[in-house]
């Protein structure tokens, strides 16, 4: 059971008011941050560019304010994020449980970034967070946030948490504290969560922020290369398998890919290797819904990534059928039945969504 339920808002108010923190809350937070505090920053399990980018950006900012600050991540990040400034300072909870607990228990403020519900940190860390007697600050852009935070900045219309951190610093009157290091972290999350500025949630504001970060001297080409041009031979071979497993169901404008544990093992699978594979399904002409099913024998689950084009909500689909959620056009989910049964369940659901899929997106 969650202990930390001391919010000032009803659910309706959260939706209306939390788009940006109210001036009063910003004032209170500024006051809180005006003296040195013990602060932890937590990102979600299986951190991506936005989770680590936003966490490290905030980390560098809070260090500048002379706080005692630590980033705690439930598990490690893929190799393509290992170059981020000071990522080596991050405490990996599953590898260092005692230290992680100690930091969290001592923290006077805990920022939770890029996730909307405490279960997103995974089963090992979730109960620790639920027991904390601390001040929670949420900055996140996922749909339907839980209401555990004392200060909540939730806006699913914004493309990335990094963009939100920029707005947050703006509200605190501290844009001038953004240096090249912070800008590099923020740009990373913006570029990954917008699909290099192509997804629908990308706005002129996104581009203006990116421009201001480039003005601070970041090497945007290098950032892009560090994230996207780090293929190993094994990853490309695995992509070959994924593409040969790709199935297309034109009737439902749907494509899906499966990868079994055996197939992953045959190419020395490393965390992050399957990142982006699901997009190949979505790139087929006429396809509006794409899913990848990835077997994870260690966790005993099938991990799913779901993507859509247009109005078809993969957030709803994942939430209703596969214990997941996320955004309108990008979500994750999981299943605890074997790969073939999971796919069967999925295929049986599609006829119920035929109309929604047909109407989702006009090419």
Residues that bind ligand 5GP (CB under 6 A): 44, 116, 120, 142, 305, 324-327, 330-332
Binding span for Mn ion by CB under 5 A among 49-57, 93-101, 199-207, 211-219: 49-57
Q: Which does 324 bind (CB under 5 to 8 A by kind): ligand 5GP, Mn ion, none?
A: ligand 5GP
Nearer to Mn ion, 109 or 158 (CB): 158
Residue closer to ligand 5GP (CB basis): 175 or 337? 337
Instruction: Report how far residue 324's alpha carbon sits from residue 303's, in angstroms, rounded to the nearest whole number.
Output: 10
Q: What is 94-136 written as a DSSP string?
A: GG-HHHHHHHHHH-SEEEEES-SSGGGG-TTTHHHHHH--SEE
- What mask, x for binding Mn ion by CB under 5 A, covers residues 164 to 203? -----------------------------x----------
Pairwise CA distance, residues 1 & 127, whole Å: 9
Q: In angstroms, what is the minimal distance from the CB of 44 to ligand 5GP?
A: 6
Q: How far is the CB of 226 from Mn ion (least distance, A)?
A: 18
CB of 28 to ligand 5GP, least distance (A): 27
Nearer to ligand 5GP, 100 or 189 (CB): 189
CB of 53 or CB of 325, closer to ligand 5GP: 325
Within 10 angstroms of residue 142's Cβ, the number of other Cβ atoms is 21
Between 100 and 326, CB nearer to ligand 5GP? 326
- Pairing label, strands 68-73, 135-140: unpaired
Q: How far is the CB of 215 from ligand 5GP (least distance, A)?
A: 28
State which of residues 4, 46, 49, 50 lies at the interface with Mn ion (CB under 5 A).
50
Q: Which strand (E) or helix (H) includes residue 264? A: helix 261-265
Closest CA to 72 of 108, 97, 37, 35: 97
CB under 5 to 8 A by kind: which of Mn ion, ligand 5GP, none does 272 bind? none
Q: At closest approach, how far in Å is the CB of 154 from ligand 5GP?
A: 12
Does 273 engage in binding with Mn ion (CB under 5 A)?
no
Size of the site for Mn ion (CB under 5 A): 4
CB of 272 to Mn ion, least distance (A): 15
Angle at 188 between CA 211 and CA 294, to 5 degrees: 140
* 247-249 sheet: strands from edge to edge: 247-249, 254-259, 289-296, 301-308, 330-335, 325-326
Comparing CA positions, the residue from 190, 202, 221, 199 lying closest to residue 50 is 190
Q: Which does 100 bind (CB under 5 to 8 A by kind): Mn ion, ligand 5GP, none?
A: none
CA 134 to CA 259: how far, in whole Å? 41
Q: Which is nearer to ligand 5GP, 116 or 181 (CB)?
A: 116
Place of tokens 């509200």: 171
Of 50 and 275, CB closest to Mn ion:
50
Phi, psi of 69 (to 5 degrees): -125, 140
Helix (H) or strand (E) holding 237, with range, is helix 233-244
**Residue 275 near Mn ion by CB under 5 A:** no
> How many residues does this entry show for the chain?
363
| Residue 25 engages Mn ion in binding (rule: CB under 5 A) | no
When the beta carbons of 33 and 238 are compared against ligand 5GP, the nearer one is 238
Dihedral angle computed from the Cα positions of residues 313, 316, 320 and 324, in that order, rounded to the nearest 10 degrees: 100
Applying CB under 5 A, the residues found at the interface with Mn ion are 50, 114, 161, 193
């Amino acid at each position: 059971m969650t202990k930390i339920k001391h919010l000032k808002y009803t659910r309706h108010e959260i939706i209306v008011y939390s788009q940006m923190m109210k001036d009063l809350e910003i004032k209170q937070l500024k006051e809180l941050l005006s003296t040195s505090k013990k602060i932890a920053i937590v990102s979600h399990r299986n951190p991506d560019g936005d989770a680590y980018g936003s966490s490290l950006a905030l980390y560098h900012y809070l260090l500048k304010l002379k706080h005692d600050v630590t980033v705690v991540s439930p598990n490690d990040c893929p190799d393509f994020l290992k170059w981020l400034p000071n990522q080596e300072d991050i405490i990996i909870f599953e590898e260092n449980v005692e230290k992680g607990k100690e930091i969290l228990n001592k923290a006077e403020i805990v920022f939770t970034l890029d996730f909307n519900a405490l279960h997103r940190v995974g089963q090992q860390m979730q109960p620790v967070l639920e027991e904390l007697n601390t001040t929670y600050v949420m900055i996140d852009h996922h749909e339907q946030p839980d209401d555990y935070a004392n200060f909540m900045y939730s806006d699913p219309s914004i493309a990335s948490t990094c963009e939100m951190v920029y707005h947050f610093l703006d509200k605190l009157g501290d844009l001038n504290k953004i240096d090249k290091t912070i800008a590099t972290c923020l740009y990373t999350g913006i570029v990954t969560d917008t699909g290099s500025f192509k997804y629908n949630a990308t706005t002129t504001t996104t581009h203006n922020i990116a421009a201001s970060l480039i003005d601070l001297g970041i090497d945007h080409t290098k950032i892009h290369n560090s994230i996207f041009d780090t293929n190993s031979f094994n990853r490309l071979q695995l992509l070959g398998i994924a593409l040969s497993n790709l199935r297309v169901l034109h009737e439902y404008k749907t494509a899906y890919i499966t990868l079994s544990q055996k197939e992953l093992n045959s190419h020395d699978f490393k965390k992050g290797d399957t990142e982006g594979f699901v997009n190949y399904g979505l790139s087929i002409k006429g396809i509006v819904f794409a899913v990848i099913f990835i077997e994870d024998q260690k966790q005993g689950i099938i991990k799913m990534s779901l993507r859509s084009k247009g109005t078809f909500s993969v957030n709803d689909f994942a939430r209703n059928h596969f214990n997941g959620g996320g955004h309108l056009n990008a979500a994750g989910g999981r299943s605890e039945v074997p790969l073939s049964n999971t796919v069967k369940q999925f295929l049986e659901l599609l006829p119920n969504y035929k109309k929604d899929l047909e109407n989702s997106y006009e090419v």
